[in-house]
Structure formats: C-alpha cells, structure tokens
Amino acid sequence: MTPSNAPLQLENSTLLIDAGYVAGEWVRKSQSNKTFEVLNPSTGTVLATLPDMGRGEVKAAIDAAHTAQKDWAKKTGKERGAVLRTLYDLMVANVDDLAAILTAEMGKPLAEAKGEILYGASYVEWFAEEAKRISGDIIPGHQPDKRIMVLKQPVGVVASITPWNFPNAMMARKLAPALAVGCSFVAKPSELTPLSALAMALLGEQAGLPKGLFSLITTTASADVGKEFCANPKVRKLTFTGSTSVGKILMRQSADQVMKTSMELGGNAPFIVFNDADLDEAVEGAMISKYRNNGQTCVCANRLYVQSGVYDAFAEKLVAAVKAINVGDGFDDEVNAGPLINEGAVAKVKEHIADATSQGAKVAIGGRPHKRGGTFFEPTVLTGVTRDMKIASEETFGPVAPLFKFETVDDVIEQANDTEFGLASYFYANDLSQVWKVTEALEYGMVGVNTGLISTEVAPFGGIKQSGQGREGSKFGVEDYLEMKYVCLGGIPS
C-alpha cells in the first residue's frame, strides 16, 4: 500500500510521463508555452505538469498520422495483430504500475483500477485477433460477364476524445480496433486523467507502433482541439465518449465534412426489481452497477425501480449493503469507494439529493459530503422517489441510489423508457415470459438480465436514441473503422 500523502511509487517509473506524444516525439513544451497540472482528486497532490497543447500540435499530429497510416494499412492483418498482441502483453506485465497511475489521477480504489487495466487490455487482445478477420464478400453477378466484390478498407486517420472516468479502458476500446484494421490514431484524453493514456502511448511505442501512427494531445483547450478534429480534411473519423451535449456539438461540427462518427454518450440506466426476483442477487447487482467507480460510469444504475411487493425488503437489504462501503483514498487497504472527481461532481450530487428530499424523498442512508472532506461523499440511498424529481431525468454520476416504487410490468416499462437516453438497462426477474417481454420492450442498446455487470470485450457496447451511435467491442467493433468498397469486374468471358 502507498500512503495517500506519499509520492507515487512505481516499479517502472518511466510510465509516469510529463510530456505529450506528437508524431512519434515526446513533447514537453507546448507551442504556447502553457502548461497544466494533473492532480490526485483524493489528496490534491500534483502528479505531473504537462504541456497545454493547441491546434498547432493537433495539425502536426494529424499530418504525421496521415502519412504513417498508408504504410500501416499495407501490412497484413497478422502483422498488425502481432504488434497489438505485444501491446497487450506489456499492459498485463505492467498492470500494477498502470493501476497505480490510474488510482492516483482518477481516485478509484486500486483493485478496481487494476480491473480496469485488465479490461482495457482485453480489448487490445481481442482486436489483435480480429485484425486477421477483416473479410469482404463476393456477390453473384447481375450479368454473365461481370463479377461483384465487396472490399473492407480502413477509413484512414481517426481522431479520438475520451473522458476521465475510465482513462485506460476508454482509450483501449477505440485505439485497438482502429489500429487492427489499418487506421492511424490521434487522441485527446481528458485533461483530468491524461497520465494513463500517456503510459499506454509509451507501451505502444515499445510494442512497435510506427512513428506518427499514434499521437496523444495533452490539453485543456478541448473545444479548440475538437474543432480541429472536425475541420481537418485529413481526419476521416471521429470517435467520442462523453456527454450527449458535447456529442451533439461534435456531430454538428463534423457534418460539414460528412465525417464518419461513433458516439458513446450519456445514460440514464433503469434497474428494475420484480416481485419474483432473488433479492440478494438483485442487491448484489445493484451494488455493482450503482456504486462501481463511485457511481461515475455511463452505464451505472441511475433509477432503481422496485415492485411494491418487495420494495421495503429490497430497500432494507440495499441499505445494509451500502453501510459496508468503505470510503477513502484509493491506495488504502479495504477501501472500495474513492472520491468524486471534482467539486462540480459533488455539487451535482448535492443538488439531486436536495431536490428529491424537498419533494418528499427520504434519505435512508448517507446524503451528505463525507467526513473526510474534499470531494468524498457518503454512499446514499433515497426512498420514496418519484418521476417528477431531477434524479429521474438527469444523470447523477455519483453514489446515489434512488428507489422508485412501481406496480405493474407495463407501468415500469413506460417509466424506464421515459427518457431521451438509451444506453444500458438492467432488471431482475425469474418469470421467463416476463423476462422476454421486458427485454424486448426496453429501449436500450444493452440489457442486463439478472446481472449488474455487462461490460466485456466480446459483446457490442453502445446505445440508441440520444445515447449515441456505433458499437465498441465484439466482432462488430471494427465496422466503425472500415469503409465498404463495391468493385464490379467486367469483361469476363462467359
């Protein structure tokens, strides 16, 4: 264990990097000479000071990526996959150090951070294998002297913008399929958590990624970088994970180029418990879904609907489980909930609780900033929550479980779907006919049935409605990085 006030201790100290990575070069001074600090949200300690880059560095990175992509695309899938496999091996070999960096910059408990590193690495391994399986098609011809082929080719330069809550996994889920099919990659991680991405860039360099193929922009000028990504004609695809409001801005900006985009946006996940559910399993699933990463995930349960027959029993069991959560510094033993990312996150959680309680909701446990101070917050359960409260329509992104009571299947389906979002959903039930009905009726890209943990590299991750477009992971995950080309071969003698 590293004491919370001690310098970050790594077995491989080179993984903690104080530079950006542009066109194959480590850059410690930005063109503007501006810098920004990366802080530990648990202690306020400065972890690194990084160059605050702008559109000049972004253009240089895109130019290099445009050049490097041509030769990378000429390599066989097996050759590209071998490099990615080496990157996977390096991530696994350095998992402890990568987890320590992640905990330091983001705050999540060390065991959870290690789980994220291995989760991110699983995407690199998966797409290393998929690199050999990019297949086209042969279509029966429409005339005797013609043959029809369909080719799959890489889109070219990919621009990526990722959030702070999963700084390793979000990067890996986008980088791996792009590189697997023959694209190049220019990334902008969150300015709050860029160190995990920089460590991955170093490992990518060591794995054998060609110079210029992968660049990483460190910056606080998110809007300017986004504009360059969308306006630069050498960028052929933008992949973004973040809020729906920012995703809409990027989609508008990229429309002038009719740019290929994939968007993983906000969520407002329902978690439904029916009368016939196994309550112990439902509570376990709720704890995983709601309180993992302290509620700071796009797929976490935001609205917990419990049928009237088991409402009180479920609430009692959930409160008992929440009491066992140990809040503290992510490096401390036994801690399973770290701080919220910043004061803005705390303010939103407080706002949602205040709004709910002012309209009749009751705090069953928690409800206040934690006695540790800073951005720590007590894990919270609210009962008596109704659909006219803010927490019913807005994503909280914090450790608050609001319990709604419902009576019928049709009623809860209507309430669960009453949102512009459609990312993840969950429900617990044992009646097979009910399972099928609810699964088919929920308007979400992902449905967890009798489980609160659905993320895996082998399944397509993504949403519908205003939660985004495109999928990450699985055999479908490469499609967003490919173009389809139809070839008609004529002049073939019959």
Could you state, in order of their start, the residue ranges of all structural domains in the chain? 13-265+468-484, 269-456
Q: Please say whether the beta carbons of 262 and 480 come within 8 A.
A: yes
| Amino acid at the residue 94 | N
Calpha distance 62→175 (Å, rounded): 15
Q: What pLDDT, on a 0 to 100 scale, did the predictor assign at position 4? A: 44
| Amino acid at the residue 12 | N
Altogether, the residues listed in the chain come to a count of: 494
Q: Do the domains 269-456 and 13-265+468-484 match in fold?
A: no
Q: What is the dihedral of CA 427, 428, 431, 435, to 10 degrees?
A: 20
| Amino acid at the residue 265 | L
Q: Could you count the other beta carbons within 10 Å of the beta carbon of residue 407?
A: 10
Residue 238, beta-bridge partner list = 159, 261
- Which residues contact residue 255 at a Cβ distance below 8 angstroms, ignoring those fewer than 6 apart? none
Give, in degrees to the nearest 5, the angle at Cα 268 between 266 and 274: 155
What CATH architecture applies to the domain 269-456? 3-Layer(aba) Sandwich (3.40)
Calpha distance 177→120 (Å, rounded): 12
Instruction: Tell me the two tokens of residue 419.
Output: 């949102």
Q: What is the dihedral of CA 126, 238, 295, 121, to 10 degrees?
A: 20
Q: Please say whether the beta carbons of 138 and 190 come within 8 A.
A: no
Element spanning 83, H or E = helix 77-93
Instruction: Enter the pTM of the model.
Output: 0.95
Least Cα distance to 403 among 381, 421, 374 occurs for 381
Helices within 6-76 (DSSP H only): 55-74
Q: Could you count the other beta carbons within 10 Å of the beta carbon of residue 25?
A: 14
Element spanning 205, H or E = helix 195-207
Q: 330 by DSSP, 3-state: which?
A: coil
Q: Which residue has the tokens 């319990």?
A: 403
Give pLDDT tens digits along the chain (494 positions): 333 445 688 999 999 999 999 999 999 999 999 999 999 999 999 999 999 999 999 999 999 999 999 999 999 999 999 999 999 999 999 999 999 999 999 999 999 999 999 999 999 999 999 999 999 999 999 999 999 999 999 999 999 999 999 999 999 999 999 999 999 999 999 999 999 999 999 999 999 999 999 999 999 999 999 999 999 999 999 999 999 999 999 999 999 999 999 999 999 999 999 999 999 999 999 999 999 999 999 999 999 999 999 999 999 999 999 999 999 999 998 999 999 999 999 999 999 999 999 999 999 999 999 999 999 999 999 999 999 999 999 999 999 999 999 999 999 999 999 999 999 999 999 998 889 999 999 999 999 999 999 999 999 999 999 999 999 999 999 999 999 999 999 999 97
Q: Given this structure, which CATH class describes domain 13-265+468-484?
A: alpha beta
Backbone φ/ψ region at 233: left (φ over 0), alpha (ψ -120 to 50), beta: alpha
Q: What pLDDT, on a 0 to 100 scale, did the predictor assign at position 2? A: 38
Calpha distance 9→1 (Å, rounded): 10
CA distances from 21 to 85, 91, 445 (A): 21, 18, 35
Give catalytic residue positions: 264, 298
Calpha distance 412→39 (Å, rounded): 42
